[in-house]
Amino acid sequence: MEFEVTMADIARLPRTPAAQSLCKRCKQNPPEITMRHEALCRDCFQIYIRTKFTRHMEPYRVKKNSQTTKKLLLATSLGVSSTALLDILHWHRALQVERARRSEYDVEVVHIDDTALIGGDGTTAAAAAADECLEKLRERYTQFEFTKVPLEDIYRIPNGTAAVEEIISTTEGITLDHSPSSPSSSSSSSPLDKLRTLLSTLNSRASQMDLITILRTRLIVELAKQRNCEAIFFADSMTKMAAMVLAEVTKGRGHALPWLISDGPTPYGPQTIVRPFRELSKSEIASFITFSSLWPFSIISQEAATNPPKPPVKAKNQTIDEVMEKFFNDVSNAHLSTNVVKTAAKLGFADDRDRVERLGLCEICGLPMDEDPRIRKLKNVKAEEGGEGNGNANDADARIYCLEPPEGEEGLKQRRCYGCRRSTLGAGKIDWPVNNR
Amino acid sequence: MNQCVICQTNRAQVIRPKNGQKICKSCFLEVFELEIHTTIVENNIFPNRGERVAIGASGGKDSTVLAATLKALNERYDYGVEFVLLSIDEGIHGYRDDSLETVKRNAIQYEMELCIVGYDTLYGWTMDKVVEMVGRKGNCTYCGVFRRQALDRGAKQLDISHILTGHNADDIAETVLMNFLRGDLPRLGRCAEIMTASPTSAMKRSKPLKYAYEKEIVLYAHYRELDYFSTECVYSPEAFRGNARSLLKELEKIRPSSVLDIVRSGEQLVHDAIGPNKLRYEEQNEWYEGGKGSENDKHILGNLKSPPGHGTTHQTTDGSRIQTIGVCENCGYMSSQPICKACVLVDSLNKTNASVGVSLGGGQTIH
């Protein structure tokens, strides 16, 4: 390209007759960005972004008599939002150190590396890009610790309740078993092979990506448990979350929406989830990156972020999440993400306790199980009439939703939620690496 | 070559979008009808024998297929109910007049009584005249409000308290997505329900085709050579729905079961999110102390404590509504407001002040 116009350049261009060309908030500097109908200078814009972030940091403010330093785990994809959150968190912690001479928390940054799944040259290139980016981040953000964990390590996580408790009680010296041929594993195949086998049994790229996302989340949670982190930070923007909401609805996980998107405790364990960017749009975060000159610290280039390339796959091979992200990245739909996220956040459950006790957690996604609403209704009717017989209803579930359990797996409905049954449809028996608590 | 996986004898002609099964024509017709029968039985749609039930008939594919299958199923499984076709004449030249001819033929073909209710007799306005007045933008608001009431009034004339509509799985999935996109929490909780009896209407409404794919409905109509009318309304490229519709089409390409999966998700929202149990909030927070929702729930209780006035709607901050029902002071029809929405709209039309109507449209208006 001979000439490149960055968003900052555009923002710097004089707008309309310079009648009132001063930032709406500080009334001193020329505005550089129009944000929610307000023309702001870059300083005021950064204050705005940081304010939105700081609101979520209440539990991590410096407290007078706190004894221990809290440990936070920041999950990074090395994408635009991840880098922005890293930067702001670094700023926030530095401010604590400056003002209070100590910080309330330490941050461990974890990048889950799934490049091995690409295979061939793609793996090498992607892994090199990630390493390079991580190296740059390490140099710049010296207060934080960075680690890269391959996704297949989920197969190295010791399973079972006892094992997890053991890890939590013995705080130091826990490392994952990275030796290539682990004698403890019962089968001879490597974790990567196991992961590849699992994915190869799934019927579409959409299902594969769905399970990869679940595995990534579960690995992050397990790592947080191992490292005694009390909170996990995700850099999901409002735009991303809107896409997540509709994607999960589309996958049939409407029943689990509150757990999927709300901050706070999870069914996975005591760690809380924090998404400090849930009120910021993707474009706002991109502007922040531009103003802070952080583009070199993200794996996504500025051109790619502002003008996303067409997905390299055929329309049929896209994933549900990709379609949804594309939908909300579209400028004409961007404003709808607020509605989606706010509406989803208001959904709650009336019968949480009852449901979890009665139905348990899904063996795949680890979230509370759903129940065929018609069965519940039938039960009520039956209870009133004092009758019985629910075998019929089970058949009808298979008939109406066309989700017949695979042969020999008739009890699957009791162990796997609707969305996970859909994503593993036709996969037969699978070797799933994580157990629920 | 390709054998039907069900009967194992005939050649497969249909790939079912729900599960990719390849089946023959006769098995398709059978499975399609059986699914609707299952839906009816499991949801207890016809609880009383001898009841008269209205089928909202537009002459389009959905309502024609609904009427045809229900007639067949009623004979085969002996529901013991009598069906009446109920049509609304919105007064749209070049669309409704032609489709009503189809309904009239259907009435003869299916030996069902037919009742047509016109906007002009009910409100003194046809949609053609409304559009002349307000233009094409926002005219669907009028039509939607009028139709809901017109269906109720028509059924009342027939002394019927149960209306069946031809909403299919695609319609419901679109509506679920749409209600998320516009942030309509109360409607999100209701839209996937198979049977609704809203507080503003004693009329029961059911959607027996709720699990039927649009594609399969078209196919069924084609195989059974049903007589239906297939023109879109001349006034309404409903922009917002179109957005959700194209999104759904794209999702269906990736995973054909998506339509059904969204319906399923929608059902879960109905029972879990906005059920009447929501008021059991204390228990809930005890277990789940994440702080989520506790504030919202307090608002609901706060509102409950205040004495409900005549026909008012309290919109709480979390979007839940607590409605009390009164009667429209103008027409005597049930309404949550002192004057029902249809009367408000008619009033605004009569005053030739179109803009008022749109702004008073409230939740119904989509910009």
pLDDT along chain B (367 residues), means of 10: 89 89 94 93 90 94 96 96 95 89 94 94 90 82 86 91 95 94 86 75 87 95 93 73 90 93 87 38 30 34 35 45 67 79 87 51 38
Mean pLDDT to the nearest integer, A377-397? 48
Q: B284: which chain A residues are within 8 Å (Cβ-Cβ)?
A: 348-350, 352-353
B19 touches chain A (CB under 8 A): yes
Of A7-11, A248-252, B217-221, where does mean pLDDT reach its minimum? A7-11
Rounded to the nearest angstrom, the minimum Cα separation between B364 and chain A is: 16
Strand partners, B23: B14
Q: Which of residues B275, B291, B308 is at a domain's end? A: B275
Evaluate whether residue B242 is within a structural domain. yes
B277 touches chain A (CB under 8 A): yes
CB contact under 8 A, B253 and A351: no
- Pair B153, B88: CB distance under 8 Å: no
Same domain, B255 and B365: no
Evaluate whether residue B75 is within a structural domain. yes
pLDDT higher than 70, residue A160:
no
pLDDT higher than 70, residue A97:
yes
Mean pLDDT to the nearest integer, A122-131? 91
Q: Is A153 helix (H, G, I), strand (E, B) or coil?
A: helix
If you measure CA to CA, which chain B residue comes closest to A266? B290
Q: Which two tokens stand for residue A154?
A: 């989920």
CB contact under 8 A, B42 and A347: no
Q: What is the ipTM of this complex?
A: 0.84
Same domain, B67 and B196: yes
Q: How far apart, in whole angstroms, are the C-alpha atoms of residue A349 and residue A257?
A: 10
pTM of the model: 0.83
Q: Which two tokens stand for residue B41?
A: 């039985």
Same domain, B137 and B213: yes
Q: Which of residues B242, B275, B308 is at a domain's end? A: B275
Task: Give the angle subtended at the CA of A232 by the CAs of A227 and A236, to the nearest 5°.
Answer: 145
How many separate domains does chain B show? 2
Mean pLDDT to the nearest integer, A369-385? 59
Same domain, B144 and B71: yes
Of A83-87, A159-163, A330-334, B145-149, where does mean pLDDT reach its minimum? A159-163
Q: A393: which chain B residues are within 8 Å (Cβ-Cβ)?
A: 42
Q: How far apart, in whole angstroms, are the C-alpha atoms of residue B192 and residue A44?
A: 44
Q: How far apart, in whole angstroms, are the C-alpha atoms of residue B35 and residue B31?
A: 6
Same domain, B172 and B98: yes
**CB burial readout B231-263, b (16+ within 10 A) else e:** eebebbebeebebbbebbebbbebbbbbbbbbb
CB contact under 8 A, B253 and A396: no
Q: How far apart, in whole angstroms, are the C-alpha atoms of residue A21 and residue A14?
A: 8
- Pair B152, B201: CB distance under 8 Å: yes
Nearest in space to A277 (alpha carbons), one of A247, A302, A240, A306:
A240
Backbone angles phi, psi at B23, to 5 degrees: -135, 165
Q: A315: which chain B residues are within 8 Å (Cβ-Cβ)?
A: 250, 253-254
Q: What is the 3-state secondary structure (H, E, C) of chain B?
A: CCECCCCCCCECCEECCCCCCEECHHHHHHHHHHHHHHHHHHCCCCCCCCCEEEEECCCCHHHHHHHHHHHHHHHHHCCCCEEEEEEEECCCCCCHHHHHHHHHHHHHHCCCEEEEEEHHHHHCCCHHHHHHHHCCCCHHHHHHHHHHHHHHHHHHHCCCCEEECCCCHHHHHHHHHHHHHCCCHHHHHHCCCCEECCCCCCCEEECCCCCCCHHHHHHHHHHCCCCCCCCCCCCCCCHHHHHHHHHHHHHHHHCCCHHHHHHHHHHHHHHHCCCHHHHCHHHHHHHCCCCCCHHHHHHHHHHHHCCCCCCCEEECCCCCEEECCEECCCCCCEECCCCCHHHHHHHHHHCCCHHHHHHHCHHHCCC
Q: Which two tokens stand for residue A288?
A: 């922040």
Same domain, B160 and B55: yes
Q: How far apart, in whole angstroms, are the C-alpha atoms of residue B2 and residue B13?
A: 8
Q: Is A265 helix (H, G, I), strand (E, B) or coil?
A: strand
CB contact under 8 A, A254 and B264: yes
Same domain, B356 and B225: no
CB contact under 8 A, B284 and A348: yes
If you measure CA to CA, which chain B residue comes closest to A267? B288
What is the helix (H) or strand (E) element at residue A87, kind and residue range? helix A80-100
Same domain, B162 and B223: yes
CB contact under 8 A, B272 and A349: yes
pLDDT higher than 60, residue A116:
yes
Evaluate whether residue B317 is within a structural domain. no
Predicted pLDDT at B55: 96
Report in angstroms the alpha-carbon separations of A54 from A85, A117, B123: 11, 36, 56
Q: Which residue has the higher pLDDT, B303 or A325?
A: A325
Q: A354: which chain B residues are within 8 Å (Cβ-Cβ)?
A: none
Evaluate whether residue B203 is within a structural domain. yes
DSSP for A316-360, written as a single string: GG--HHHHHHHHHHSHHHHTHHHHHHHHHHH---SSHHHHHHHH-
Predicted pLDDT at A15: 58
Q: Which two tokens stand for residue A311?
A: 């997905």
Evaluate whether residue B319 is within a structural domain. no
pLDDT higher than 60, residue A1:
no
B105 touches chain A (CB under 8 A): no
CB contact under 8 A, A254 and B290: no
CB contact under 8 A, A252 and B264: yes
DSSP for A130-152, written as a single string: HHHHHHHHHHH-TTSEEEEEEGG
B318 touches chain A (CB under 8 A): yes
Handedness of CA A356, A361, A367, A373 (dihedral sign): negative
Report in angstroms the alpha-carbon separations of B253 from A315, B18, B22, B256, B265: 8, 12, 17, 6, 19
CB contact under 8 A, A250 and B265: yes
Mean pLDDT to the nearest integer, A301-307? 81
Q: How far apart, in whole angstroms, are the C-alpha atoms of residue B1 and residue B12?
A: 9
Evaluate whether residue B207 is within a structural domain. yes
Q: Which two tokens stand for residue A425?
A: 């449809």
Domains of chain A: 7-346 (3.40.50.620), 352-423 (no CATH)
Q: How far apart, in whole angstroms, are the C-alpha atoms of residue B245 and residue B247?
A: 5
Of A76-85, A283-292, B155-164, B324-333, where does mean pLDDT reach its minimum? B324-333
Nearest to B271 among A376, A404, A422 (CB): A376
If you measure CA to CA, which chain A residue comes closest to B290? A264
Evaluate whether residue B142 is within a structural domain. yes
If you measure CA to CA, which chain B residue comes closest to A318? B254
What digits encode the pLDDT tens for the residues A393-412?
Answer: 455 566 778 777 776 777 78
Q: B268: which chain A residues are within 8 Å (Cβ-Cβ)?
A: 254-255, 370, 373
Q: CA-based diameter of chain B, in Å?
A: 71
B283 touches chain A (CB under 8 A): yes
CB contact under 8 A, B284 and A253: no
Residue type, A94: A
> Which residues are within 8 A (CB) of A78 and not within 5 positions of it... i.e. 6 or more apart?
A111, A130, A133, A134, A137, A298, A299, A300
Residue B48 domain boundaries: 25-275
- Pair B232, B96: CB distance under 8 Å: no
Q: Is A203 helix (H, G, I), strand (E, B) or coil?
A: coil
If you measure CA to CA, which chain B residue comes closest to A380? B43
- Pair B151, B56: CB distance under 8 Å: yes
CB contact under 8 A, A402 and B287: no
Same domain, B240 and B364: no
pLDDT higher than 80, residue A279:
yes
Q: How far apart, in whole angstroms, are the C-alpha atoms of residue B248 and residue B242?
A: 10
Q: How far apart, in whole angstroms, are the C-alpha atoms of residue A284 and residue A324?
A: 19
Cα dihedral angle (B24, B27, B30, B36), rounded to 10 degrees?
Answer: -70
Q: A402: which chain B residues are within 8 Å (Cβ-Cβ)?
A: 16, 18-19, 21, 257, 260
If you measure CA to CA, which chain B residue comes closest to A206? B254
Q: Which two tokens stand for residue B252?
A: 């269906």
In B219-248, the residues whose Cβ lies within 8 Å of chain A are 243, 247
Q: How far apart, in whole angstroms, are the C-alpha atoms of residue A95 and residue A226?
A: 28
**Helix axes A42-54 and A80-100, enclosed angle (nearest 10):** 80
Q: Which two tokens stand for residue B100?
A: 């009503």
pLDDT tier for residue A196 given thresholds of 50, 70 and 90: very high
Q: How far apart, in whole angstroms, are the C-alpha atoms of residue A251 and residue B17?
A: 16
Residue pointed to by tokens 């094992």: A163
Cα dihedral angle (B114, B117, B121, B125), rounded to 10 degrees?
Answer: -140
Evaluate whether residue B260 is within a structural domain. yes
Nearest in space to B325 (alpha carbons), one of B240, B200, B208, B228:
B200
Predicted pLDDT at A304: 83
- Pair B136, B235: CB distance under 8 Å: yes
Backbone angles phi, psi at A231, to 5 degrees: -145, 150
Predicted pLDDT at A14: 61
Backbone angles phi, psi at B168, to 5 degrees: -105, 180
B284 touches chain A (CB under 8 A): yes
Read off the DSSP letter of residue A190: -
Nearest in space to A85 (alpha carbons), one of A99, A100, A70, A75:
A75
Q: How far apart, in whole angstroms, are the C-alpha atoms of residue A78 and residue B228?
A: 55
Q: Which two tokens stand for residue B14?
A: 């249909």
